[in-house]
Amino acid sequence: MGTYWQDERNRGRSDGALGSASSSRRSERDRDPAGAAALAPVIRALSAEPTDRELDGMGPALAAFRARVRQQATGSRRHRVFATLLGAKVGATLAGVAAGLVGVSTVVLVSTHVPGGAQPPGGPAAPAQARPAAVSTTATPHGPDANGPAKHGLCTAWRARSQNPGAQGHADQSVAFTNLVKAAGGANKVAAFCADVLAPGAAGNQGGGKGSGKPTGKGSGKPTKQPGHQAKDDDKATGKPGDVPNGQRTDTPTDEPTDEPTSTPTTEPTDEPTTTSTAEPTDEPTTTAIPTAPTGTPVPQTSGTVEPSQTVVP
Amino acid sequence: MIGAEFETVLAGARNGDEDAFARLWRDLNPPLLRYLSLGGDTADEVAAETWLTVVRGLNTFTGDELGWRAWVFTTARRRAVDAARRRGREARLRWHASSWVATVHDCADDVIDTLSTQEAVALVRRLPPLQAEVVLLRVVAGLPVSEVADVLGRTPGAVRVAAHRGLHALADLVDPAGVTPAEAAALRE
């Protein structure tokens, strides 16, 4: 450390432009060697190696450091979660539209193929009422009967939604799902209610497991958007009711399973594909039931316009 | 001083590396305590507060190691002033004036070579406050004059003068008999 002060003296000399510097410089020159010698032990002691006591007590500082790191981590994680939520919301919107279409079409298809005698309310006898019902969309909505032929489609749609947590809010509030929940006796019983319908599907239990837990939580969060989505579903459902059933029906039914999975995943943006792509294929087994009744081609045309009006009622 | 690795260590601490932070702490806590013991018994407490402030501001700091040291010691000085304010006028007097001398025993009889760090700091505390601070910041913290001037809010010239006088006074304290000019001249030859 003696060199340190040596440097200091030199520096003082080199820029010693201060007015009082000259006198002190002389005394410095007179005294410093002895002063430096006397000071050496003090300097050495002041700059001695750290003692244990001085290195003790990092605890509070380290704790504060950890807390700060944790804070930063959660902050950035919050950022990330927000971003993924945003993505999930967009994905859920698209998936909701897709699931709505699929659900509606399956409702249409399935309900038309249930044996006529087994249908209490809106069976083949319904076509006569179809037009009035479609026109009076503003009338009080009653929706499809979940105990009737619509059960299969509703359950399928419900499961599709339940695998899309973001769409729960819409699912809970639509008339169709309200009917389903009512028929099941509660949102958490829908899975059990639908068990027999969905059982044939390989992923039936999957839908049941998820459906039971989630619906209750998110319902209140997004009510404002719901009408919009419903309207969107309405438009698409009522817009081309003739197209969808006809096209699928008259074209080769065997193509459907292969077509749909490839088309729907492309609509999914980023986050969802793993869940929805597994969801969509599970829908398909229900449409493979179609070949059993392709003979009834005339029926779907009429009832095809009926069912959307029923399920779609806002 | 950490030296060439300082940038890496600081960056590590910023990214949450505890080892890097521990290294910064180990590097500066001893000089911090020595400097802060100018204020008396509160050194540990004020050093801890200083580190809390440093941790909070870790991301706002920019600069090299000298700048880092100057920043930490500036923080320490502020915390010391705060602590002195909290403890009231008496404590402030102790920080500013030399009433702390009472706690210092006379080192003249000690064997100077075995001077402990604490005793050396006690000696420095007998200097006028500005000189004491300047000496400790220069010797203990290893700060250049310009950084000391920043920390203390003084001009570099004032710091230089204070360092000069402080060292002279310290030499007198260590060796009250002093070295006569004649002896000094003799020693030089």
Q: How confident is the model at residue A113 (pLDDT cuts 50, 70, 90)?
A: low
Partner residue facing A46 (CB), from B34, B44, B48? B34
Q: Which of the pair, A221 or A155, is modelled with greater confidence?
A: A155
Q: Which of the pair, A285 or A42, is modelled with greater confidence?
A: A42
To the nearest whole Å, the CA of A82 is away from the closest chain B CA by 22
Specify the range with the lowest mean pLDDT, choosing from A5-9, B106-110, B154-158: A5-9
- Taking contacts as CB-CB distances below 8 angstroms, the residues of chain B near A1 are 139
- Taking contacts as CB-CB distances below 8 angstroms, the residues of chain B near A5 are 167
Is the Cβ–Cβ distance between A150 and A144 less than 8 Å? yes
Q: Which of the pair, B49 or A211, is modelled with greater confidence?
A: B49
B113 to chain A, any CB pair closer than 8 A? The answer is: yes
Q: Where are the domains of chain A?
A: 100-115+126-312
Model confidence over B136-158: pLDDT tens digits? Answer: 999 999 999 999 999 999 999 99
Mean pLDDT of chain B: 84
Q: How confident is the model at residue A100 (pLDDT cuts 50, 70, 90)?
A: low
Location of structure tokens 């045309």: A301
In this prediction, residues A7-20 reach a mean pLDDT of 35
Q: Do A35 and B171 touch (CB under 8 A)?
A: yes
- Taking contacts as CB-CB distances below 8 angstroms, the residues of chain A near B184 are 30-31, 33-34
Range among A138-147, A267-276, B9-18 with highest mean pLDDT value? B9-18
A5 to chain B, any CB pair closer than 8 A? The answer is: yes
In this prediction, residues B94-123 reach a mean pLDDT of 61
Q: What is the pLDDT of residue A192?
A: 79
To the nearest whole Å, the CA of B77 is away from the closest chain A CA by 17
Q: How confident is the model at residue A185 (pLDDT cuts 50, 70, 90)?
A: confident
Q: What is the pLDDT of residue B40?
A: 83
Partner residue facing B48 (CB), from A20, A43, A57? A57
Q: What is the pLDDT of residue A232?
A: 42
Q: What is the pLDDT of residue B58?
A: 93
Helix spans in chain B (H): 6-14, 18-36, 43-56, 65-86, 88-96, 117-124, 129-139, 145-152, 156-174, 181-188
B11 to chain A, any CB pair closer than 8 A? The answer is: no
A11 to chain B, any CB pair closer than 8 A? The answer is: yes
Pick the residue from chain B with its C-alpha nearest to A35.
B171
- Taking contacts as CB-CB distances below 8 angstroms, the residues of chain B near A22 are none
Q: What is the pLDDT of residue A267?
A: 42
Range among A64-73, A111-120, A161-170 with highest mean pLDDT value? A64-73
B51 to chain A, any CB pair closer than 8 A? The answer is: yes
Give A173: exposed, middle or buried? Use CB within 10 Å, 0-12, 13-18, 19+. Answer: middle
Q: What is the pLDDT of residue A299?
A: 43
Specify the range with the lowest mean pLDDT, choosing from A98-102, B3-7, B164-168: A98-102
- Taking contacts as CB-CB distances below 8 angstroms, the residues of chain A near B179 are 31, 34-35, 37-38
A35 to chain B, any CB pair closer than 8 A? The answer is: yes
Q: Do B171 and A39 touch (CB under 8 A)?
A: yes
Partner residue facing B123 (CB), from A11, A42, A65? A42
Specify the range with the lowest mean pLDDT, choosing from A49-63, A139-153, A214-228: A214-228
Tell me the C-alpha distance between A58 and A290, whole Å: 73
- Taking contacts as CB-CB distances below 8 angstroms, the residues of chain A near B181 are 30-31
Q: How confident is the model at residue A184 (pLDDT cuts 50, 70, 90)?
A: confident
In this prediction, residues A198-204 reach a mean pLDDT of 51
In this prediction, residues A61-80 reach a mean pLDDT of 82
Q: What is the pLDDT of residue A84?
A: 62
Q: What is the pLDDT of residue A104?
A: 58
Q: What is the pLDDT of residue B177?
A: 61
Mean pLDDT of chain A: 55
Range among A74-78, A162-166, A302-306 with highest mean pLDDT value? A74-78
Q: What is the pLDDT of residue A78?
A: 60
B18 to chain A, any CB pair closer than 8 A? The answer is: yes
Residues 6+ apart with CB under 8 A from B47: A57, B29, B32, B33, B36, B76
Model confidence over A19-63: pLDDT tens digits? Answer: 333 344 444 444 455 567 788 888 989 989 998 989 988 999 999
- Cβ contacts from A onto B, under 8 A: 127
Q: Do B116 and A62 touch (CB under 8 A)?
A: no
Q: Do A60 and B48 touch (CB under 8 A)?
A: yes
- Taking contacts as CB-CB distances below 8 angstroms, the residues of chain B near A6 are none
Q: Do B139 and A4 touch (CB under 8 A)?
A: yes
A51 to chain B, any CB pair closer than 8 A? The answer is: yes
**Does the pLDDT value for residue A259 go beyond 60?**
no
A66 to chain B, any CB pair closer than 8 A? The answer is: yes
Could you write out the DSSP letters of every residue in chain A? -HHHHHHHHHHHHHT--STTHHHHHHHHHHHHHHHHHHHHHHHHHHTPPPPTTTT---HHHHHHHHHHHHHHHHHHHHHHHHHHHHHHHHHHHHHHHHHHHHHHHHHHHHHHHS-GGG-SSSSTTTHHHHHHHHH-TTSPP----TTTTTHHHHHHHHHHHHT-GGGHHHHHHSHHHHHHHHHHTSGGGHHHHHHHHHTTSTTHHHHHHHHHHSHHHHTTT-TTTHHHHHHHHHHHHHHSTTHHHHHHHHS-GGGHHHHHHHHHHHH--SSTHHHHHHHHHHHHHHHTTGGGSGGGTHHHHHHHHHHHHHHH--
Pick the residue from chain A with its C-alpha nearest to B111.
A41
Q: What is the pLDDT of residue A24?
A: 42
Tell me the C-alpha distance between A267 and B8, whole Å: 46
